[in-house]
C-alpha cells in the first residue's frame, strides 16, 4: 500500500509550535518536509481519507489535508488531473483553493483550469488546495470542509484594521469570528476581559454590540467615551461577580497577558454569573512555554465541563505565540 502524507500550513514562524503539537498528539506522524509556513508528515498510523482528514484538528495548522504531491507550474495541470483520476476523482468534484506561502509567485489556477478559484467553500465540499511555495515548487492536496474547519483558503480572510482601532489586536478577534462563522447579533452584549487599549472592543462596538471592558491598563479615549462601552478598571483576580453588570451577557472575549491556567480559572469563575444567557466564549490562550501545547486538550475539557457543548482550539493568521479556544453553548431553537 502507498505511503500516506499529510500537509499542514502554519503561520510563518510557528512551525515549531505545530511540530510540538504533532509530537504530543499524533506520534504516528513523522516529519517528512518542512519549509516556512508549510510542512508534510508521513502517516505511519491508521490512514485518513478525504473525509476523515478534517477530524485531525490541529490547533496550529491554518490548513490540513492529504498531500497528493507536487509539481512544476508548466505541467502541473496534467499532474493534478492524473493524480485525481488515480483516486477516482475529477476536477468537477472539487472547489479549488489556490494560494501561495512565503512567495510572491502564485500558480495561475484560474486561467489554467478555466475555473473560478478561492471561493468560500460550503460545508461538505471537497477542496483541492494548490499551494505555491515558489516558481518551481507547487504542492497540491485535498480536504473536505466539515464543522470546525474554516471555509476560507488557508484561513485567509480579507479584513483590515481600521485606522480608528487603538490596537492591532482588533484583527485577532475579527478573524476568529469571520473564519469560524460565530453568530452574534447587534443585540448581544459582551464582556471583554483584557480590553486595553481597545482593539477588540472597537471591533465589537463597530458591530453595534454593548461592551463591558475589564483591564488594569487604560483604554483609548474614543473607546472610553463610546455610548455602548463601559469600563471596569480592575484585575480579573480582584473582581467578584457582584462587580460585573447585572444584565444578560451573551458573549465573553478574553485576551489577558496572564498564565493561561490562572486566566481560565478567573474568567470561568466570573462567567458563572451569566450561566443562563451566555452563548459562547472566545478565549485567547498564550503559549508561554512550548510544553504548554500539551495542555490544549486539558483546557478544552475544562471549558466543556463548564458547559460549553462544543470547543475548538485554533490559531488564526493574526496570532503570534497564542491561539484561541472557542467554546459555544447549545443554542436554543
Ligand X SMILES: C[S@@+](CC[C@H](N)C(=O)[O-])C[C@H]1O[C@@H](n2cnc3c(N)ncnc32)[C@H](O)[C@@H]1O
Residues of this chain that interact with ligand X (CB under 6 A) are: 167, 169, 194-200, 214-217, 235-237, 255-258
- Give least dist CB 169 to ligand X, A: 3
- First-to-final CA distance of the chain: 47
Distance separating alpha carbons of residues 223 and 129, to the nearest angstrom: 41
Q: Please say which residue, 79 or 216, places its beta carbon nearer to ligand X.
A: 216
C-beta neighbour count of 49 within 10 angstroms:
11
Distance in Å, CB of 275 to ligand X, minimum = 22
CB of 263 to ligand X, least distance (A): 7
- Shortest Cβ 234–ligand X spacing (Å): 7
Q: How far is the CB of 207 from ligand X (least distance, A)?
A: 14
Closer residue to ligand X (CB): 116 or 237: 237
| CB closer to ligand X out of 147 and 320 | 320
Nearest to ligand X of 138, 219 (CB atom): 219
What value, to the nearest 5°, has the Cα angle with vertex 98 and ends 1 and 85?
A: 35
Is 192 or 300 the residue whose CB approaches ligand X more closely? 192
In the chain, the DSSP E strands lie at 4-9, 29-35, 38-43, 63-71, 94-100, 126-134, 137-144, 189-193, 210-215, 229-233, 251-254, 280-286, 310-314, 322-328
- CA-to-CA dists, residue 138 to 69, 107, 164, 237, 269, angstroms: 9, 7, 39, 50, 49
Amino acid at each position: 500500500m502507498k505511503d500516506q502524507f499529510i500537509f499542514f500550513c502554519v503561520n510563518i514562524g510557528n512551525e515549531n509550535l505545530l511540530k510540538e503539537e504533532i509530537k504530543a498528539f499524533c506520534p504516528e506522524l513523522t516529519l517528512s518536509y518542512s519549509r516556512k509556513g508549510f510542512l508534510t508528515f508521513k502517516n505511519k498510523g491508521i490512514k485518513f481519507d478525504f473525509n476523515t482528514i478534517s477530524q485531525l484538528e490541529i490547533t496550529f495548522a491554518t490548513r490540513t489535508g492529504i498531500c497528493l504531491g507536487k509539481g512544476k507550474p508548466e505541467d502541473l495541470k496534467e499532474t493534478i488531473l492524473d493524480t485525481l483520476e488515480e483516486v477516482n476523482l475529477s476536477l468537477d468534484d472539487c472547489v479549488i483553493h489556490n494560494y501561495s506561502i512565503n512567495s510572491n509567485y502564485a500558480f495561475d489556477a484560474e486561467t489554467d483550469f478555466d475555473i473560478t478559484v478561492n471561493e468560500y467553500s460550503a460545508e461538505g465540499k471537497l477542496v483541492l488546495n494548490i499551494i505555491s511555495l515558489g516558481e518551481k515548487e507547487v504542492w497540491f492536496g485535498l480536504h473536505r470542509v466539515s464543522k470546525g474547519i474554516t471555509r476560507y483558503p488557508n484561513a485567509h480572510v480579507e479584513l483590515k484594521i481600521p485606522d480608528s482601532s487603538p490596537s492591532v489586536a482588533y484583527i485577532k478577534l475579527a478573524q476568529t469570528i469571520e473564519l469560524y462563522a460565530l453568530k452574534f447579533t447587534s443585540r448581544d452584549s459582551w464582556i471583554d476581559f483584557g480590553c486595553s487599549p481597545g482593539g477588540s472592543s472597537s471591533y465589537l462596538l463597530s458591530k453595534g454590540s454593548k461592551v463591558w471592558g475589564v483591564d488594569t491598563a487604560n483604554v483609548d479615549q474614543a473607546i472610553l467615551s463610546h455610548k455602548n462601552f463601559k469600563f471596569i478598571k480592575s484585575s480579573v483576580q480582584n473582581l467578584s461577580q457582584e462587580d460585573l453588570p447585572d444584565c444578560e451577557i451573551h458573549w465573553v472575549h478574553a485576551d489577558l497577558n496572564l498564565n493561561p491556567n490562572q486566566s481560565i480559572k478567573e474568567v470561568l469563575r466570573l462567567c458563572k454569573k451569566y450561566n443562563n444567557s451566555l452563548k459562547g466564549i472566545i478565549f485567547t490562550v498564550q503559549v508561554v512555554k512550548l510544553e504548554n501545547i500539551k495542555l490544549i486538550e486539558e483546557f478544552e475539557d475544562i471549558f466543556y465541563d463548564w458547559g460549553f457543548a462544543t470547543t475548538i482550539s485554533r490559531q488564526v493568521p493574526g496570532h503570534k505565540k497564542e491561539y484561541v479556544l472557542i467554546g459555544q453553548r447549545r443554542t436554543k431553537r
